[in-house]
């Protein structure tokens, strides 16, 4: 260290700025051989020269530079640390709700927007003048137009209130959209079983997943439950329309209704149409289920309309009401077809035709 210090005394660096009124130092000034009229590195600094024209030894210049670099380096590290907190985050923006459209995978039924829970959500957003929890959207091919990833209810509330909607903007694939929408909905207010089933059905029909099992694995839901939800979504429209709202359907009803449809689809569908024809009268969901299955009051009425014909204590025929205005006659005695046809034609006043 002593030897380095001694050698550094021989190094004379030019001042950072030239003295006021003086010429700028020549590049070869440091290499010039000092003569009688030239001051050396150890010469005294003239009074009034100021710090701007002060020369430093090699060690002094390096220490000054290191001192400045330490402060700048610390500030740079702090800036980097702050930026790291936002690394990978998506931008949040206020968007015109009219420039935001529903997703092709939207799973909310229209009746949800008339529910009490939606009215409460709308009131909260109106009071805050913004949706505190942002929705998520992705850009579309149309400039300035976005598609909802999740947050359809919040978007609808802002649209109705005429407020800008706070949204996270991020590029996602169709599969990522469906998974994020499903996870977000289950983390907030669960969809009804029928809505969940329709969502699964849409995902499969769109080719997002090759099977219900793979969909369940990716979404983190139980496979058997996903299969039941899908079966609920596959019920005929007439059966679903028999209920006051599709969202009234329960997941464990899927198996019961599917079994009834397999056994006697004509009767189930006919009963569903009769129920729907009653109009907008209140229809308790459990009572509708029982009627569709042929239980309860509907079954009692059908039992009263069944007639049994006996001869010598033995049943020879039964007559019961079938779907619509049909009468089903079952003949149990060994009667020939010609004889039976003759009796029925005489009773109805009709003629017989061979088939």
- 198-235, pLDDT tens digit by residue? 999 999 999 999 999 999 999 998 999 999 999 999 99
In a domain, 119, yes or no: yes
Residue range 106-131: mean pLDDT, rounded: 88
In a domain, 264, yes or no: yes
- Higher pLDDT: 27 or 151? It is 151
For residue 268, give the nearest of 285, 253, 287, 289 by alpha carbon. Answer: 289
- Higher pLDDT: 8 or 174? It is 174
Shared domain for 184 and 132, answered yes or no, is yes
The answer to which of 32-36, 110-114, 146-150, 289-293 has the lowest mean pLDDT is 32-36
Shared domain for 101 and 136, answered yes or no, is yes
318: number of CA atoms within 13 Å, CB side? 11
- Higher pLDDT: 113 or 27? It is 113
Query: What are 309's two structure tokens?
Result: 């014909």
Per DSSP, the three-state class of 221 is coil
Given the structure tokens 């909607």, which residue do they identify? 165
- Higher pLDDT: 353 or 82? It is 353
Shared domain for 289 and 255, answered yes or no, is yes
Shared domain for 264 and 336, answered yes or no, is no
E strands in 60-187: 92-95, 100-101, 135-139, 146-150, 165-169
Instruction: Domain count for the chain, please give it.
Output: 4
d(CA 11, CA 29): 12
Taking the alpha carbons at both ends of the chain, their separation in whole angstroms is: 123
- Higher pLDDT: 154 or 278? It is 154
Residue range 134-150: mean pLDDT, rounded: 94
Per DSSP, the three-state class of 37 is coil
Give the domain-ending residue among 189, 206, 226: 189
The CATH number assigned to the domain holding 111 equals: 3.90.1530.10
In a domain, 30, yes or no: no
Contact 287, 299 (CB under 8 A): no
Domain limits at 264?
A: 241-304
Per DSSP, the three-state class of 187 is helix
Q: In what helix (H) or strand (E) does residue 321 lie, and over which residues does it extend? A: strand 314-321
Shared domain for 260 and 286, answered yes or no, is yes
Shared domain for 148 and 208, answered yes or no, is no
How does residue 8 score in pLDDT terms, banded at 50, 70 and 90?
very low
Residue range 20-40: mean pLDDT, rounded: 47
How does residue 15 score in pLDDT terms, banded at 50, 70 and 90?
low
In a domain, 52, yes or no: no
Flag whether pLDDT at 325 surpasses 70. Answer: no
How does residue 13 score in pLDDT terms, banded at 50, 70 and 90?
very low
Shared domain for 107 and 199, answered yes or no, is no
Shared domain for 173 and 109, answered yes or no, is yes
Shared domain for 132 and 222, answered yes or no, is no
DSSP 112-137: GGGSHHHHHHHHHHHHHTS-SS-EEE
d(CA 229, CA 176): 21
Query: What are 79's two structure tokens?
Result: 């800036």
In a domain, 199, yes or no: yes
The answer to which of 85-94, 119-128, 254-263, 285-294 has the lowest mean pLDDT is 85-94
Give the domain-ending residue among 304, 319, 336: 304
d(CA 37, CA 148): 82
d(CA 59, CA 76): 25
Flag whether pLDDT at 299 surpasses 50. Answer: no
Flag whether pLDDT at 10 surpasses 80. Answer: no
pLDDT for res 84 = 59
Q: What percent of the chain has pLDDT over 90?
A: 39
Q: What is the mean pLDDT of the chain?
A: 77
In a domain, 132, yes or no: yes
**38 phi and psi angles, rounded to 5 deg:** -105, 135
Q: Which residues does 148 contact at the CB level (< 8 Å), separation at least 6?
A: 100, 101, 102, 103, 106, 135, 136, 137, 155
In a domain, 266, yes or no: yes
Shared domain for 282 and 343, answered yes or no, is no
Shared domain for 123 and 176, answered yes or no, is yes
Per DSSP, the three-state class of 160 is helix
Flag whether pLDDT at 196 surpasses 50. Answer: yes
For residue 171, give the nearest of 192, 153, 149, 190 by alpha carbon. Answer: 149
Shared domain for 184 and 196, answered yes or no, is no
pTM of the full structure? 0.53
- Higher pLDDT: 240 or 336? It is 240
């Amino acid at each position: 260290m002593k030897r380095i210090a001694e050698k550094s005394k021989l190094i004379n660096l030019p001042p950072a700025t030239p003295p006021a009124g003086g010429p700028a130092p020549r590049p070869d000034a440091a290499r010039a051989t000092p003569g009688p009229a030239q001051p050396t590195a150890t010469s005294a600094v003239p009074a009034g020269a100021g710090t701007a024209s002060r020369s430093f030894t090699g060690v002094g210049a390096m220490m000054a530079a290191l001192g400045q670099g330490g402060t700048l380096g610390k500030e740079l590290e702090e800036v980097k640390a702050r930026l790291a907190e936002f690394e990978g985050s998506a931008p949040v923006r206020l968007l015109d709700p009219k420039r935001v459209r529903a997703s092709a995978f939207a799973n909310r039924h229209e009746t949800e927007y008339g529910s009490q829970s939606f009215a409460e959500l709308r009131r909260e957003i109106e009071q805050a003048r913004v949706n505190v929890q942002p929705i998520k959207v992705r850009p579309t091919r149309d400039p300035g137009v976005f598609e909802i990833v999740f947050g359809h209810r919040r978007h609808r509330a802002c649209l109705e209130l005429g407020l800008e909607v706070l949204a996270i903007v991020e590029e996602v694939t169709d599969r990522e959209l469906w998974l994020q929408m499903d996870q977000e909905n289950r983390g907030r207010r669960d969809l009804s079983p029928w809505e969940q089933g329709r969502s699964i059905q849409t995902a499969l029909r769109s080719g997002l997943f090759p099977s219900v099992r793979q969909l369940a694995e990716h979404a983190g839901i139980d496979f058997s439950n996903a299969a039941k939800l899908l079966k609920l979504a596959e019920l005929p429209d007439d059966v679903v329309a028999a209920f006051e709202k599709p969202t009234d359907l329960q997941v464990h009803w899927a198996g019961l209704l599917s079994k009834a449809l397999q056994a006697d689809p004509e009767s189930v569908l006919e009963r569903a149409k009769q129920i729907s024809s009653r109009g907008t009268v209140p229809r308790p969901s459990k009572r509708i289920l029982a009627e569709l299955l042929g239980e309860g009051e509907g079954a009692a009425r059908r039992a009263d309309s069944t007639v049994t014909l006996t001869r010598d204590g033995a049943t020879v025929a039964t007559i019961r009401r079938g779907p619509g205005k049909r009468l089903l006659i079952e003949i149990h005695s060994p009667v020939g077809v010609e004889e039976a046809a003759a009796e029925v034609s005489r009773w109805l006043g009709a003629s017989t035709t061979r088939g």
